[in-house]
Amino acid sequence: MNYDYELDTFGLSCPMPIIKVKEEFKNIPEGSVLKVVASDEGIVEDLKSYCKKTNHEFLSYEINLPEYVVYVRK
């Protein structure tokens, strides 16, 4: 999938990946696609929930253990 920005949260556990996404969204333009790389298996459901609450768009995810890759649009 095409993306504009990448955020590496590998090695961080909940809730840090979501906190990092929230911080990153402050620095990128509206409509940008952010690729989030994580090792925390909860990232997929956590980001789905976060996007629903904040009106961001959850696009897709890939699991390539030990990595979880999630794409979201600001």
Give the catalytic positions in this structure.
Answer: 14
Within 10 angstroms of residue 74's Cβ, the number of other Cβ atoms is: 21
Phi, psi torsion values for 27, nearest 5 degrees: -105, -5
* Tokens encoding 8: 């590496």
